[in-house]
Chains A and B, each alone.
Chain A
Amino acid sequence: MDKFKPPIGKFSQINGYCISLIGDDIDTDRIIPARFLKCIDFDSLGKSVFIDDRKTLKGNHPFDLEAKKDASILIVNSNFGCGSSREHAPQALMRWGIKAIIGEGFADIFYSNCIAIGIPCFTLPRNSIKNIQEYIANKNLFFEIDLFKSTAVSKDLKFNLEIKETTKKMFLSGEWDATSNLLENKYLIEKKINELPYIQFSTN
């Protein structure tokens, strides 16, 4: 997709139209079925996101609706992204155009994969998500998300988003882009490998 630019460095603001997916426990196999894991880069995944669900709904899946094609904020229910560790799932969402996700809750590995590639995930209580989803069913919703204040604001709605303090800091500081950060402690890493008993007695 030509509109794709991966996020880099620190950021504090995400503005965009919302798209909603209703349902708990939406797993990674649904986000991107396993047959699309046969690739050595992530570039082509955007067009295959939710492909089987979309085929079943014959053009009526939110990700196929003309009115939602520019959306970048995904609204979901609970345990979103459960299942596999495949980063292909958030990568596919990101390459379709998703920049932030607001939901009732997320599966652990999916959540950390999102953070690792620069998609902040926020939570809201079930009722608030329901309000947003009902609103989106009728109208377009444009949210301005302020990471620092943890708010999502539109012309008629306002929510205080929840996000782990550690995650929030990672985006505000750019630390989510982890590798260089980890390598800063290279002396501590060397020290650690020399301390661990099993490194001495293992034979590989």
Chain B
Amino acid sequence: MSQNTLFDNVWDLHKVANLSGGSDQIFIGLHLIHEVTSPQAFGALEDKNLKVKFPSRTVATVDHIVPTDNQSRPFKDNLAEQMIDTLEKNCIKHKIKFFNIGSGNQGIVHVVAPELGLTQPGMTIACGDSHTSTHGAFGSIAFGIGTSQVRDVLASQTIAMNRLKVRQIWCENKLSNGIYAKDLILHIINHLGVKAGVGYAYEFAGPAISALSMEERMTICNMSIEGGARCGYINPDEKTFSYIKGRLYSPQNENWVQAVKWWKSLRSNESSIYDDVVKLDASKVEPTITWGITPGQSLGINQKIPSLKDMHPNDQFIAGEAFEYMGFKPGQPIKDTPIDVCFIGSCTNGRISDLRVAAKVLEHNTVANHVKAFVVPGSEQVAKEAKEEGLDKIFIKAGFQWREPGCSMCLAMNSDKLIGNQVSASSSNRNFKGRQGSPCGRTLLMSPAMVAAASITGKVSDVRDFISK
């Protein structure tokens, strides 16, 4: 059993009790809610005649269903309107802080909480959303929960959970030029498989991880769940502290000094014991793209789609399904695969640095004629910053549509959807069948820079060719 890792330290600190069934009762320091997974939880609370125990520990925003073209109310989509309306009412009734559209702080919940300084090291963070693992980038223990657990957190600020094991993923060396955090995490998931993380928290560490910016670290932790790990984290360091400093909800003055001291005390160190350690060489990672229907089915830009006989028997069934669904053939190169739609956004890659990188590739270029390309900033703050830097103009000039913040085509609960079996180059995190709104739509996951490159050529391309030009 792991000992003395940041995970263990934070878990022990938040443990309220041993439950008779054998699981632990864990206190949740920060609870984030959105419109999709909270209404039924509030409903259940009312059925049981319970109140929200600590309303100040819950923060709400709206992201999944918001239209990104016309946000005037009431929304055209009745159901979407009903969902936002329900959230507004629940927040008022239970005195929960709500960052609504137009507040200047609305956006994808996993983009908003860090930029407001709500996400801090040493916290436990839960949200009815599997990509809550994102917040682990700050050295918090953050995980997705289901609606019944959202109800439990509202009612008691705690949940019942089994302790996770801890696997350290040590990344040696550095990513080379033109290779990004997204490539690294896709590579890791491909290497370990989509279910290796079940029952584990992933600690990402090593020189390649330390070298990443906070936003890149969020990209890594965000996709822990795609590797099966409910929670992924990185030990906090000076970069973490300077990112948090001075944000709306970060500790101030004397509290800041105490906070940093405490944060430093939580880190994993030489005495930490892990249940498992995996090492890999980040300098070997190439621009990485998925070709199938799970985030583990990926390959480097210069590789060919594998054939069934080269795969582990356990991977063959899902690979067979992927071939049938995607229409690709074993041995086919991924490079030059034609693309219909390009999407830059999501809680994985919808932050300001993602937009900057993509804009840099797009500057002085234009989107291929047949491609529909759009960019959806992760939050109102990201959108504002991008506009101040003139990034919106670069995107628009190149032929991208510039949209309002939300989840958008990451899961297509609004009107942004693939049509028929269109192929999308997407900076999001899931390439599941039907994920982007069409039951036969096809998604290739890649870094935002690679999406930008694909938008110019209209096919899967190596972004390094654009950067070195």
Q: Which residue of A lies closest to B144 (CB)?
A: A85
Q: Is B218 in contact with chain A by the CB < 8 A criterion?
A: no
User: A75-119 interface mask toward B, CB cutoff 8 Å, 1 = contact, 0 = none?
Assistant: 001110011111110110000000000000111110011001100
| A182 & B249 in contact (Cβ 8 Å cutoff) | no
B43→A182 contact, CB < 8 A = no
Q: Which of A29, A167, A188, A202 sits near B16, CB closer than 8 Å?
A: A188
CA distance A188 to B39 in the complex (A): 28
**In the complex, which of the residues A79, A91, A117, A197 contacts B195, with contact meaning CB atoms closer than 8 Å?**
A79
- Name the contact of B194 in the complex, choosing from A77, A79, A166, A167 (C-beta under 8 A): A79
Q: Is the CB of A25 within 8 A of B29?
A: no
Identify which of B56, B129, B155, B432 contacts A179 (C-beta below 8 A).
Answer: B155
Given contacts A83-B130, A181-B160, A196-B27, contact A189 B16 (CB under 8 A): yes
Tell me, yes or no, whether A35 is within 8 Å of chain B by CB.
yes
> Once bound together, how far apart are the Cα atoms of A183 and B153, in whole Å?
10
In the complex the two chains form, is B22's CB within 8 Å of A169's CB?
yes
Whole-angstrom distance between the Cβ of A197 and the nearest chain B Cβ: 5
Question: With A166-B21, A198-B122 in contact, do A85 and B161 touch (Cβ < 8 Å)?
Answer: no
Task: Indicate whether A166 sits within 8 Å of B162 (C-beta atoms), given known contacts A38-B65, A173-B20, A203-B249.
Answer: yes
Across the A-B interface, how many residue pairs have beta carbons closer than 8 Å? 225
Q: Name the A residues within 8 Å of B356 (CB-CB).
A: none
Asked if A64 is at the interface (CB within 8 A of a chain B CB), the reply is no
Contact between A178 and B152 (Cβ–Cβ < 8 Å)? yes
Identify which of B14, B36, B146, B412 gathers the most chain A CB atoms within 10 Å of its CB.
B146
Chain B residues numbered 93-110 whose CB sits less than 8 Å from any CB in chain A: 97
CB closest residue in chain A, given B123: A198
Docked CA distance A96–B255 (Å): 52
The proximity string for A residues 48-88 relative to B, scoring 1 for CB distances below 8 Å and 0 otherwise, is: 00001101100000000000000000000111001111111
Q: Is B146 a contact of A116 with CB atoms below 8 Å?
A: yes
Chain B nearest CB, measured from A83 CB (Å): 6
Is B20 touching A175 in the complex (CB atoms < 8 A)? yes
Residue of B nearest to A26 (CB): B318
Check if B156 sits within 8 Å of A186, measured CB to CB.
yes
How far does the alpha carbon of A42 sit from the alpha carbon of B37 in the complex, in Å? 11
Contact among B44, B54, B194, B249 with A82 in the assembled complex (CB-CB below 8 Å): B194
Give the size category of A's interface with B. 35 or more
B187 interface residue (CB < 8 Å to A): no
Count of residues in B whose CB is under 8 Å from the partner chain: 90
Complex interface: chain B residues within 8 A of A33 (CB): 434, 439
Shortest distance from the beta carbon of A191 to any chain B beta carbon, whole Å: 8
Q: Are B48 and A179 in contact (CB under 8 A)?
A: yes
Known contacts A23-B321, A188-B17; is-contact A199 B29 (Cβ 8 Å): yes
Asked if B59 and A204 make an inter-chain contact with CB atoms under 8 angstroms apart, the answer reads: yes
Interface presence of A37 (CB below 8 A): yes
Residue of B nearest to A90 (CB): B146
Q: Which residues of A contact B120 (CB under 8 A)?
A: 198, 202
Q: Which residues of B contact A199 (CB under 8 A)?
A: 29
Are B435 and A189 in touch, CB under 8 angstroms?
no
Say whether A127 faces chain B, with CB atoms less than 8 Å apart. no
What are 28 residue pairs bridging A and B, where the CB atoms are less than 8 Å apart in the complex?
A: A22-B317, A24-B314, A25-B294, A27-B294, A30-B433, A33-B439, A35-B437, A37-B413, A38-B83, A40-B83, A40-B86, A41-B39, A55-B439, A84-B129, A84-B430, A85-B130, A91-B147, A109-B144, A112-B161, A165-B22, A173-B21, A181-B19, A181-B160, A182-B152, A193-B54, A198-B29, A198-B262, A201-B255
Starting from the known contacts A27-B430, A204-B59, 8 additional A-B residue pairs (CB-CB under 8 Å) come to A40-B83, A82-B294, A88-B147, A108-B199, A179-B44, A179-B50, A180-B48, A201-B255
Going nearest first, the 7 A-B pairs with the smallest beta carbon separation are A166-B22, A113-B146, A116-B148, A201-B255, A85-B144, A87-B146, A87-B147
